Structure 1
Amino acid sequence: MESQTANFNHLQAAHCENGVTTALLAHYGVHKLTEPLVFGIGSGLFYIQLPFMKVNGGPAISFRTMPGLIFKRTCKSLGIPVTRKKYRSHEKAMAELDERLRAGKPTACQVGVFYLTYFPKEYRFHFNAHNLIVVDKRDDNYIISDPIMEGLVSLNSYELERVRFAKGAFAPRGQMYYPGDNLKEATDEQLRQAIITGIKRNCRDMLHIPGNFGGVSGIAYTGKQIKKWKEKLGDQKARSYLAQLVRMQEEIGTGGGGFRFIYGAFLQQARQYLHMDELLDLSKQFTAAGDKWRDAAIQASGIYKGRLTTQADYDNMGDRLIEISALEKQAFQQLKALIKKAK
């Protein structure tokens, strides 16, 4: 049992699904992937504000693709078989996980964050799209590789079952997933084609998603909405909406500014496989967009903490997002034109 844990290399990552995908595939034999490559191949960069939906009483905003897609797309691009299971029965969900662990097979799970006992209390939100790897079981304790944590952590059986069956939006329903066994290392040509596919899909999602509330158009949509919040909602609710925006961007794992930095790193690493020097300049553009997202978060924090209170402050915040929208639109248009040249 000890060797099973010792043989697993825990990876601390900027985002949970990136980290789970990278660490799990490495354990089963695919070692060339990095967190940025996984994020780019999986077309993880996204933006949407769902206008008729609320999360925790605030706007439903996401900076990422649907949970599970990064893992699914990365594996599909590299020809890796995937098994994904959801359960009605708590007992069956725990028994099948235990069976895999007895066979020495670390397994990924989608869980809710709110009852993760090893998380600091300020990071526990009702967010059900968190990913982790269950590495081993010792007595009643499960050894967990959570990419957000510095090292391995543990949950007892009651705690793990509780987070696997958290209620609410994106309820995980005991979901566990894993790749096939004894995978072959990815070839450079496989990675090259996977990168091209991932970039083309990400350009499509950010430039051509229907409607005005997704992709780069969605960022501008939110900016315009912010300018109306103070008058429409009143100070207290408008401030809580901005707090929600920052929470989704910086804390919950949907990754606003941080995702732009990861995508910039992806384009740098993609250059090794595509041999296109223009990717370095595009990488800098996405990094600059990430900086502007971080600056916008500081502006939003000033408003919801009561330091900035005027309509001009809300207008400033909205204008920042409209500017980011234009920057990302330009970067994705250039990237779309460039990737058409790749064979």
Structure 2
Amino acid sequence: MPPNNQKINFVHRQSAHCESGVAANLLFHHGINISESMAFGIGASLFFGYFPFIKINGLPLTTFRGATGQILKRVTKGLGVQAKRHRFWDPEKAMNALDRIIDQGIPVGMQTGVYWLPYFPPALRFHFNAHNIIVYGKEGTEYLVSDPVFDEPVVCSRMDLMKARFAQGALAPKGKMYYLTRVPDHVDIAAAIVRGIKDVCKTMLKIPFPLIGVRGIRFLAGRIENWPEKLGEAKASLNIGHIIRMQEEIGTGGAGFRFIYAAFLQEAAEILGEKRLLNISGKMTEIGDRWREFALFGVRNCKGRVLKGNTYPAMADILRDCANQEDELFHNLADLINL
């Protein structure tokens, strides 16, 4: 397809996390004004999972959010919004399809590999294939990109964007793109909030699998306290560093999305007229602080600056405390909305 110029009147809004930011910004473009935290909460994306059989950069996957694509899927379903999603095997066909949708004046979200996005500083590029962005226009062979983790829009060449859309490895994007096709005149945000809270409570408390939710946090705690003996100091440090990176650096807003979810509960309290949610929001912030303490202990171990008491068993105890507090919080939250 020959080069063409098209610029959609799109408002770029920065966010802490890419997918919730993309979801909120696409909805905002189509007239539904919700925050990133509200999109995250309605999308029921607060999560914990430790999967030693899935490797990211050669290390076990620890995740603090739901599966890639879940936020937009659940938000649109909860609000009655229709969206289309496409995957491709052929990179040229994928780029031509993107051009056709942009030419219709529709901003397009897509999954990409961070390593191949040239506007990321070299020090921040790594092989992570679940980064979401929005393309809202094109000038010649340069695409106009709203990447929600940046404070301003950026540009990306056709070749670089193609590479990013077809990055290889874990969570390969396979050219995935998506866009909204129909937005109802009225959306019931209150009902969507309740549904989102119920889904998160079920995920964190009721999935009968030891690697997910509160059970998963306790499982990981049991692993961590024995890592130095089982793995050796160097490999134990590498594994701890990987967990902290997933918890604090991969667009989580800090503390494995706990602060973002606390903000969602605060907004939900106002919309639902339920002041007790403010207390639960405050408690979630406190739990987030505890996760941050775990990260601090871990960073000190990784850098060889261990203080007295910053041991692996101590880190395991912090995780058990987080699990116990989240167990209580989600039970209280479930009781509040009559789950």
The answer to whether the 8 Å contact 1:29/1:185 transfers is: no
Work out the CA distance in 2 between the residues paired with 1:154 and 1:20.
16
Paired residue for 1:315, among 309, 313, 323?
Answer: 313
The answer to whether the 8 Å contact 1:110/1:128 transfers is: yes
Work out the CA distance in 2 between the residues paired with 1:311 and 1:277.
39
TM-score, normalised with respect to structure 2: 0.95
Equivalent residue, structure 1, for 2:178: 177
Give the C-alpha shift of residue 3 in structure 1: 8.2
Report Cα offsets for 1:225-250 as digits up to 9, x if no partner.
11010000001100000110111111
The answer to whether the 8 Å contact 2:166/2:172 transfers is: yes
The answer to whether the 8 Å contact 2:262/2:285 transfers is: yes
TM-score, normalised with respect to structure 1: 0.94
Instruction: Please state if 1:227 is matched with 2:229.
Output: no
In structure 1, give the amino acid aligned to 2:53: F
In structure 2, give the amino acid aligned to 1:84: R
When residues 258 and 47 of structure 1 are mapped into structure 2, their CA distance, relative to the original with a 3 A threshold, is closer
* 5+ residue gaps, structure 2: none
The answer to whether the 8 Å contact 1:112/1:172 transfers is: yes
Work out the CA distance in 2 between the residues paired with 1:53 and 1:2.
42
Task: Please identify, of 97-106 and 248-257, the stretch whose mean Cα deviation from structure 2 is larger.
Answer: 248-257
Equivalent residue, structure 2, for 1:334: 332
SS in structure 2 at match of 1:257: coil
The answer to whether the 8 Å contact 1:111/1:128 transfers is: yes
Alignment of 1:246-325 (within 5 A): 246-253=244-251, 257=255, 259-308=257-306, 313-325=311-323
The answer to whether the 8 Å contact 1:64/1:255 transfers is: no
The answer to whether the 8 Å contact 1:30/1:185 transfers is: no
Task: Please identify, of 49-58 and 68-77, the stretch whose mean Cα deviation from structure 2 is larger.
Answer: 49-58
The answer to whether the 8 Å contact 2:5/2:138 transfers is: no
The answer to whether the 8 Å contact 1:62/1:254 transfers is: no
Task: Name the % identity.
Answer: 43
In structure 2, give the amino acid aligned to 1:133: I
In structure 1, give the amino acid aligned to 2:94: A
Give the C-alpha shift of residue 154 in structure 1: 0.7
In structure 2, give the amino acid aligned to 1:334: N
* 5+ residue gaps, structure 1: none
The answer to whether the 8 Å contact 2:253/2:260 transfers is: no
Q: How many residues align?
A: 336
Equivalent residue, structure 2, for 1:4: 7
Report Cα offsets for 1:32-53 as digits up to 9, x if no partner.
x111111110001000001322
In structure 2, give the amino acid aligned to 1:318: A
Report Cα offsets for 1:303-343 as digits up to 9, x if no partner.
011112889611111111111111111110000000118xx
Work out the CA distance in 2 between the residues paired with 1:138 and 1:41.
35
